[in-house]
């Protein structure tokens, strides 16, 4: 696999699969032998920190979601050792009524120190060297992460077992019927649609979402890239599954998350009149979503203020001014 291919993914605007991209990783090769070989291999790198295991009954059919009354979740979380988690995997794999459980978004360097010396996309391909990248491990049995979006670009490496990603472009948000902003099953807003049994009377727009869906069926060694804010449901399809993913943003580190802007927009804009909102939309298009040169090109440098290219000091000044106004 050429590093140039992976480098091109950094700027891709759509999901893309590279088959067999990481098939030569020792972890993938262990998985092609057996699940036990994978667990023995991973145990060599297990650190001293316990994992967070999410688990739910067989009746949930693997879908980690809200409970039926929508008063909480259909799963629980607890801290376990790597050994205890693997024991649970071994006990469940031949049981059709076994509970569903997974360990997700587990920092590789903290929980499995040294694993990346033999299994790492960034080191082997030489990509994203100028980005702050989060590398995480995901393990479990047959589970489904309800459709959600992440605020970072993502490269997902399917290492053990098969996975299915069902992806939707960001403009399908209304047709995916997002749940509450909080609480959420895993930190991000999820679609309220049950993909296995959609209720088209309650969620009629989901038919349109399905028309634009992209399905990525991944085998061990395959790599999937998708851009930030693409919705995705993730299904782990085998009795034992392992994935490593890489998250990154190309924004400067001093920039705040746009979710803060959205939350403040609910506070300051949503409930104004339609006329006012249309006017503010024009202002946002001019100052935020349009070309950054347009609002400042006619101003001398000393008058541009926050309209100029942002740097860390100016970001701190803006943040301080916002905090002062918010704390009124």
Does the pTM exceed 0.85?
A: yes
Count of H helices and E strands in the chain?
A: 10, 13
The per-residue pLDDT for range 256-268, each reduced to its tens digit, is 999 999 999 999 9
The per-residue pLDDT for range 273-284, each reduced to its tens digit, is 999 999 999 999
Mean pLDDT of the chain: 93
Alpha carbon distance 25, 160 (integer Å) = 11
- CA angle 263/178/268 to nearest 5° reads 20
The per-residue pLDDT for range 216-275, each reduced to its tens digit, is 999 999 999 999 999 999 999 999 999 999 998 888 888 999 999 999 999 999 999 999
Alpha carbon distance 86, 293 (integer Å) = 55
pLDDT at 124: 59
Burial of 49 (0-12, 13-18, 19+ CB in 10 A): middle
**What is the Cα Rg of the chain in Å?**
22
Over residues 97-114, the mean pLDDT reads: 95
The per-residue pLDDT for range 9-46, each reduced to its tens digit, is 767 789 999 999 999 999 999 999 999 999 999 999 99
Q: How many CB atoms lie within 10 A of CB 317?
A: 13
Alpha carbon distance 61, 90 (integer Å) = 19
Q: How far is CA 35 from CA 91, 93, 216, 222, in A?
A: 12, 10, 23, 18
Angle between helices 26-33 and 35-43 (to 10 degrees): 140
Over residues 125-142, the mean pLDDT reads: 81
pLDDT at 12: 74
Report the Cα 118 to chain-centroid distance in Å.
24
Q: Is the pLDDT of residue 170 over 70?
A: yes
Place of tokens 């879908």: 63
Q: Is the pLDDT of residue 1 over 70?
A: no
With cut-offs at 50, 70 and 90, classify the pLDDT of residue 127.
Answer: low
């Amino acid at each position: 696999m050429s590093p140039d291919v992976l480098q091109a993914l950094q700027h891709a605007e759509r999901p893309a699969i590279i088959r067999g991209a990481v098939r030569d990783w020792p972890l993938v090769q262990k998985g092609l032998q057996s699940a036990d070989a994978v667990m023995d291999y991973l145990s060599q790198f297990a650190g001293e920190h316990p994992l967070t295991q999410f688990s739910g009954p067989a009746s949930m059919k693997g879908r980690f979601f809200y409970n039926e009354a929508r008063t909480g979740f259909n799963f629980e979380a607890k801290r376990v050792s790597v050994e205890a988690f693997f024991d649970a995997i071994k006990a469940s794999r031949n049981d059709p009524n076994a509970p569903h459980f997974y360990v997700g978004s587990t920092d590789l360097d903290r929980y499995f120190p040294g694993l990346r010396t033999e299994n790492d996309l960034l080191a082997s391909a030489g990509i994203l060297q100028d980005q702050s990248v989060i590398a995480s491990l995901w393990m479990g049995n047959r589970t489904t992460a309800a459709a959600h979006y992440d605020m970072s670009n993502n490269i997902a490496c399917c290492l053990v077992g098969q996975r299915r990603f069902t992806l939707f472009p960001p403009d399908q948000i209304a047709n995916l019927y997002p749940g509450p902003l909080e609480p959420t099953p895993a930190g991000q807003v999820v679609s309220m649609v049950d993909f296995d049994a959609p209720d088209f009377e309650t969620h009629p727009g989901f038919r349109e979402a399905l028309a634009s869906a992209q399905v990525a069926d991944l085998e061990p060694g395959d790599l999937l890239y998708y851009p930030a804010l693409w919705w995705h449901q993730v299904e782990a399809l085998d009795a034992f599954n392992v994935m490593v993913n890489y998250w990154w943003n190309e924004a400067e580190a001093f920039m705040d998350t746009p979710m803060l802007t959205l939350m403040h927009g609910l506070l300051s804009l949503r409930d104004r009149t339609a006329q006012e909102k249309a006017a503010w939309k024009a202002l946002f298009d001019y100052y935020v979503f349009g070309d950054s040169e347009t609002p400042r090109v006619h101003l001398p440098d000393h008058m541009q203020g926050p309209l100029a290219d942002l740097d860390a000091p100016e970001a701190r000044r803006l943040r301080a001014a916002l905090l002062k106004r918010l704390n009124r």
